[in-house]
Amino acid sequence: MKRKSLGASLRYVPYVFVLPFLISFAVFYVYPIAASVVMSFQNVVPGRTAFIGLDNYRRIVDQDFFDALRVSFTYTAVTILILIPGPLVLAAMLNVGRRRTNTVFRALYFLPSLVSVVVAGTIFRLIFATSARGMANTILSWLKIPAVDWIMGGSLTAMSLMVAVAVWRWTGVNVVYFMSGLQSIPEELYEAAEIDGAGPLRKFFALTVPLLKPTVIFVTTISVFGGFAMFEESYIFWRGLSPNNVGLTLVGLLFKRGFQQGELGLGSAVGIVLIAVVFAVSMAQLKLFGFFKQEEKE
Looking at the structure of the chain, the number of domains it has is 1
User: pLDDT (tens digit, 0 to 9) for every residue of the chain, 298 residues total?
Assistant: 455 555 556 677 788 888 899 999 999 989 999 999 999 999 887 778 889 989 999 999 999 999 999 999 999 999 999 999 999 998 888 877 656 666 777 777 888 888 888 888 888 888 888 777 778 888 888 888 888 888 887 888 889 899 999 999 999 899 989 988 888 888 888 888 888 887 888 888 888 888 899 899 999 999 999 999 999 888 888 877 788 888 899 999 999 998 888 888 999 999 999 999 999 998 888 888 776 665 555 5
In a domain, 5, yes or no: no
Q: How far apart are CA 42 and CA 102, in angstroms?
A: 55
The model's pTM is 0.86
When computed from its CA atoms, the radius of gyration of the chain, rounded to whole angstroms, is 24
Q: How far apart are CA 279 and CA 70, in angstroms?
A: 17
In a domain, 175, yes or no: yes
Three-class secondary structure of residue 212 per DSSP: coil
53 touches 140 (CB < 8 A) = no
Residue 271 neighbours by CB distance under 10 Å: 22
Q: How far apart are CA 123 and CA 236, in angstroms?
A: 10
Three-class secondary structure of residue 13 per DSSP: helix
* Burial class, 238, CB count within 10 angstroms (exposed 0-12 / middle 13-18 / buried 19+): buried
In a domain, 281, yes or no: yes
Total number of residues shown for the chain: 298
DSSP lists the bridge partners of residue 45 as 48
pLDDT of residue 118: 83
In a domain, 202, yes or no: yes
In a domain, 1, yes or no: no
In a domain, 135, yes or no: yes
Strands (E) across 84-157 are located at: none
Q: How far apart are CA 209 and CA 182, in angstroms?
A: 10
DSSP run (H or E) holding 241: none
Of the candidates 201, 38, 237, 22, the residue with the CA atom closest to the CA atom of residue 125 = 237
Q: Which range of residues forms the domain containing residue 228?
A: 15-297
Q: How far apart are CA 113 and CA 57, in angstroms?
A: 36
In a domain, 22, yes or no: yes
In a domain, 171, yes or no: yes
Alpha-carbon torsion (245, 246, 248, 249), positive or negative: positive
Alpha-helical regions (H) of 184-263: 187-195, 200-203, 209-211, 213-228, 232-238, 250-255
Q: How far apart are CA 250 and CA 224, in angstroms?
A: 13
Q: How far apart are CA 92 and CA 211, in angstroms?
A: 12
Backbone angles phi and psi of 48, in degrees to 5:
-155, 140
CATH number at residue 41: 1.10.3720.10
